[in-house]
Amino acid sequence: MSNNKTHFGYKTIDESEKAKKVAEVFHSVAKNYDIMNDVMSGGLHRAWKHFTINTAHLKKGDKVLDIAGGTGDLSRGWAKRVGDKGEVWLTDINSSMLSVGRDRLLNEGVILPVSLADAEKLPFPSNYFNLVSVAFGLRNMTHKEAALKEMYRVLKPGGTLLVLEFSKVFKPLAPAYDLYSFKLLPLMGKMIAKDADSYQYLAESIRMHPDQETLKQMMLDAGFDSVDYYNLTAGVVALHKGVKY
C-alpha cells in the first residue's frame, strides 16, 4: 500500500484512499448530477461545454475519447460531429455516473460504446484517437501527470486534448466566489441532492486544482505542444488545449 499523500478537498489522505473517496462522492451525486450542474452554474455549464465542442476541429469519421464523461454531454456533441462513420467512447471511472450517462444517451437515441475506465491506465491502443476530452474530471484524479501522459499516448500525432475544468477566478471576484462556493454550494447540495458533504468536497477540490498556468505547464511536461487556454466566465472555468505533434 502506498504511503504517499494526496489531497481530498482540503484533507490530506493516503493516495491509496483517494479513488475510493472520490468514488463515494460520485456514486452519491450521480442521480442529481445534471440538475445540480444547472442550479450551481445557472445553466452556464451548457455554454462552457458548447464552447468546448465548437473549439474542436473534428471531421466525419474521426475517433474521440471522452474521459470522465459522466452523464454524456460532450459525448453527445462529439457524436454529432463525427457522424455514423466516426467513433466516440464515453468513459468514466465511476459506474454510477457511467450508467446515468449511458441510459440518458440511449433514451435520446444516441448509441455509442461505453467503458468503465481509469484515466491513469486507459484501456486503449496508442496513437488511436483524433481528440481526447475531459470535462470537470481532471481535478478528481490522484495522479494528474500520469493521466495527462495517458491522454497523450492514446492520441494520434496531430491529435488534440481539450481539458475543461474549474480554475482560478479573477482576483477581484474571489471573495464573492468563495462565499458562493463554501456557503451556498453545500446548502444547495443539502436541499436538492440531500448531500451537503459531497458538494463541500467539490468546492474544496476546485480550490486545490492547479491554476491556469500550472496546468498549462503540466500539459507541456506530458509532451503536448501549442498548449494554450481560454478563460471562461472570468476564470471560473478554463479550457486548456494541447496538440500532440
Domain around 128: 5-171+200-244
Query: What pLDDT, on a 0 to 100 scale, did the predictor assign at position 80?
Result: 97
Residue 184 domain flag: no
Structural domain total, the chain:
1
Q: Is 149 inside any structural domain?
A: yes
Angstrom distance (rounded) from CA 14 to CA 21: 11
| Residue 180 placed within a domain | no
Residue 194 confidence (pLDDT): 84
In 3D space, the residue among 146, 177, 163 whose CA is nearest the CA of residue 216 turns out to be: 163
| Sequence ranges of the binding site for S-adenosyl-L-methionine | 71, 92, 118-119
- What cell was used for 34? 445534471
* pLDDT at residue 3, rounded to an integer: 63
Kindly state whether residue 195 falls inside one of the protein's structural domains: no
> Averaged in consecutive runs of 10 residues, what is the pLDDT profile of the chain (245 residues)?
76 89 87 84 94 97 97 96 97 95 96 96 98 96 97 98 97 94 88 84 91 98 98 97 97
- Considering the domain boundaries, does residue 99 fall inside one? yes
* Residue 146 belongs to domain with CATH number: 3.40.50.150
Please give the annotated binding residues, written as ranges: 71, 92, 118-119
Quote the pLDDT of residue 153: 98
DSSP, collapsed to helix, strand or coil, labels residue 125 as coil
Q: Is residue 194 part of a domain?
A: no
State residue 38's pLDDT score.
Answer: 87
pLDDT at residue number 1: 45
Threshold 0.95, pTM exceeds: no
Q: Is residue 192 in some structural domain? A: no
Residue 63's Cβ-count burial label (10 Å; 0-12, 13-18, 19+) is buried
Q: Is residue 72 part of a domain?
A: yes
